[in-house]
Structure 1
Amino acid sequence: MTLDPGTIAIIQLAWSRRLGLADDALAEAGDGHRIYSVRDESRRVSFVRLFGSEVFCGPEWAAERVRGKSADELTRRTALASLSVEYGGRTVESERLCFADSFPGPVEPADEVAVAEDQEFAVQLQRRCPPDDVAEAGLAEKEQLFVVVDDSAEEPVALAGAGYTIRDGIIADISTLTAPDARRRGLGRYITSVAVEEAMAAGLIPQCRTPLDNLGAARTAAGAGFVAVGVRSEVQLSV
């Protein structure tokens, strides 16, 4: 599965702006070329590889330490943190960047369920999930929400949810959260596909950022039609 060249161009434009670069920076960089955006006042160090182009952002001392290191080295979960130990480097994110530009094929859950768009169900779902999963998804804060609800009981129960926030006017940043006792039933994949369809119907490009060490999230994204085309790592500095 591949992305349309027009979709790629828009993603490159959006991410160039997000990284504080010229609009055509990523499109013009070329495969394997690395851009260094040096900002000595920055309290964060980040590395992005997208469609083969690479961007490093951070202070000069950090830029000197990553020169000569490969993309594989820099996208390991603790790589940037290890390079900035004396500056209090703490890993914030280490993730795959995935996008979709075609409607997913039929994705139906094993059981008949209802879909709600009320934030109260997203909040209820978060209460049923581990804190780390809740923080990772940030579901209740999304601008658009879609939650799978079991309404067969007297009190409806939220089972899984997906939602998106619009970034840079064109990217729909999607995340998914599934209750532990509702996993392995196809509910996460189903509700993610709903969010993808709704985002595309609104003229947006769906984006999904999955943690590098979360294979379940990667499978859910792939099942909903996402293509992994990049990686991003970031650490926060405290010194």
Structure 2
Amino acid sequence: MSSGSSEAGSARTFHSGSRGIVRLAWARRLGLPDLAFSDDGGRLLGCLDAVSSLTVVELFGQLALSGPTELVEEAADLPDEDLLAGGALLRLAGHGAHGLSTGVLGFVDDLPVLQPDTEPEVSRGNPEAIELETRCPPDDVSSAGIERREHRFTLMLPDGPAACAAYSVREGLIADLGVLVAPALRRRGLGTFMARLAAHEALAEGYLVQLEAQAQNVGALRLADALGVVPSGRIASVLLGRT
């Protein structure tokens, strides 16, 4: 995501008044007090000994660590950039650590209404979304995470499912959005169209929309810019090799 709005998303899509909702949702997710995040706050430590991951989140300029107490305390004084790059998390997590993920977080609280020339055929069923996943590379399927998001919207074309946008509700406040497009149909705006559709549905239900674009996923970054998503944070996490 670029630091400013792209032409396609030139209208403001996130307002400063919505920061409190995002902060509350992430505080609860990271095991922090509800009002832990603040404009002038320092580094936050969330100790959750039962979790199987170590996570660092930078949200509106404030950093928070969450994971087992021992690892969080070891990471407490490391530089922000070392943690967000992910390498420090891997070293701290030690033997068996895997699944390192780094990305950019963006949020939407409003989107311009999009009126298509023709009414698209959209399925909310699971079989269509699953069929689309079989048409895509495993890494793309894993990154989009359609299977772990319960609200799914799949664009159907004569040849079958073409693109799917799906969201799951986090902490009752935020709709976390993922998008998957069949490889042969990419760069045609289908992913952006479906992301807008799903985002509008989530906004109508009263949720803010969150998009996490993996740092190495060029397609996700382009999608965020096309939507006009405002980049407001970064995240890095690693799975622990614990039983």
Give the TM-score normalised by structure 2.
0.85
The match for 2:96 is: 88
Distance, in Å, in 1 between the alignment partners of 2:182 and 2:128 is 12
The match for 1:171 is: 174
Letter in 1 for 2:85: R
Unaligned 5+ runs, structure 2: 1-11
Distance, in Å, in 1 between the alignment partners of 2:43 and 2:180 is 34
Residues 233 and 107 (structure 1), Cα distance of their counterparts in 2 relative to 1, 3 Å cut: farther
Distance, in Å, in 1 between the alignment partners of 2:151 and 2:46 is 33
Percent of residue pairs bearing the same amino acid type: 35
The match for 1:100 is: 108
- The Cα offsets for residues 1-22 of structure 1, whole Å up to 9 and x where unpaired, read as 4632331101101111111111
2:67 to 58, 62, 79: 58
Q: Considering only aligned residues, what root-mean-square deviation do their CA atoms show, in Å?
A: 2.4
The match for 1:143 is: 150
Task: Return 211-220 or 36-45, whichever deviates more.
Answer: 36-45
8 Å contact kept, 1:107–1:190: no
Residues 2 and 125 (structure 1), Cα distance of their counterparts in 2 relative to 1, 3 Å cut: closer
The match for 1:195 is: 198
Distance, in Å, in 2 between the alignment partners of 1:189 and 1:176 is 9
Give the Å deviation of 1:226.
1.6
The match for 2:4 is: none
Alignment of 1:30-49 (within 5 A): 30=41, 33-39=42-48, 43-49=52-58
The match for 1:70 is: 79
Distance, in Å, in 1 between the alignment partners of 2:89 and 2:178 is 24
8 Å contact kept, 1:95–1:212: yes
- The Cα offsets for residues 164-223 of structure 1, whole Å up to 9 and x where unpaired, read as 111111111110001110101111111101111111111111111111111210110221
Task: Determine helix, strand or coil for the equivalent of 1:73.
Answer: helix
Give the Å deviation of 1:231.
1.1
8 Å contact kept, 2:144–2:179: yes
Give the TM-score normalised by structure 1.
0.86
Q: 1:25 aligned to 2:36?
A: yes
Distance, in Å, in 2 between the alignment partners of 1:103 and 1:3 is 9
Give the number of equivalent residue pairs: 231
The structure whose RCO (Cα within 8 Å, separation 6+) is larger is: 2
8 Å contact kept, 1:107–1:193: no
